[in-house]
Structure 1
């Protein structure tokens, strides 16, 4: 309003007036650009904060374990997003294999739905010829759980055309959030187990399953979307998810070396 009054008291030559208008318009455009950029930076910061908050627990200091949520890959710089507690899984591995995971041991991110798409075929192509592997799943309600798979997933193609199980008793399943729990093969503690308790890993281009016998501990469909977790004979586990049927938010597979 002050500017308008000031302009009303001064008589500009037509040329000067047009020059002033052009300069004013350029200033407006620049101001709008600056406002948009500020809004974009603020929005990105908020999104990053939300992503970080997904993994914050009062009992665990993730700030001191930031290296646990990323992993190098041979042909890209993929970084995992659902594996914040590598030390917990490493302890589980040590208990099962009676080995110590040294400082030189690390995970290699082989597959993530965030970069490689939601396709079971893509998952198999990227994880075959790696042994052992760890599958980590984050559901749409932010539960995190998974499985340590002792056998190479390429073994599935060496079986008959029918879906066949393979793997060893070193395979186990686990939950990381909201609770931490490990379920080992029941045969480690009891010799008198049914044949159905020897179902460890199985898969074809339409499904991937871990654990069997009256249920499947982890069942993934071909689109890695509509999945399931049930109690099964192999691990005598409780369902890993709050609801037996769940939707995947992120699926990742790591190779251990």
Structure 2
């Protein structure tokens, strides 16, 4: 799969932001190439069998040095005292590297971008695989994610749209791909994302009286009233049969 799709999309829409990816971070000489560049042979491996040890004997012990949390051993007479090992530095946080080509799209440009991706012969994204969402409470936003595929060219593309968490509204893409209908309803049901222009935006998995959206990371589950009533009736039936009573 090639990031050439994203480059072409940016030629039409400079405002889209490509995902960080391997091709952009690869060193000179090719994607993931070693420092020697293209044509550099890999380091030679030692040839021949490993050195033999006496038959039936234990494997040779590996020397162990002092750990960072240990006091160094006492120095032998006539030798300098060993120094404590410095603690290992903490690894720096890295941004995710995306394998599937994709880009963030401004919400106001979503419909126009989608129509171009569907109709332009260079893209021909004729199939919407799925729509979902990701909750980022620390950022105060939700991401709406679209996975597109072209049966004509056999390539795929991801789009992401950022919307404010308190008022997540995004244009429905059902006018571009009919298959978005139920996917958008699911994202509305579980994350509370409102898809403006959707022909039938209502819950698809949970009951209409369900409070909240379970895929939000601050969601706290509470039994709906009808479920509490069912549990109460079942408990009465159990008590009537004398089940659960200790002898």
Give TM class, smaller chain.
under 0.3
TM-score, with length taken from structure 1:
0.24
Q: Which one has the bigger helix percentage? A: 1
- Normalising by the residue count of structure 2, what TM-score does the alignment of the two structures yield? 0.24
Greater RCO structure (CA 8 Å; 6+ sep): 1
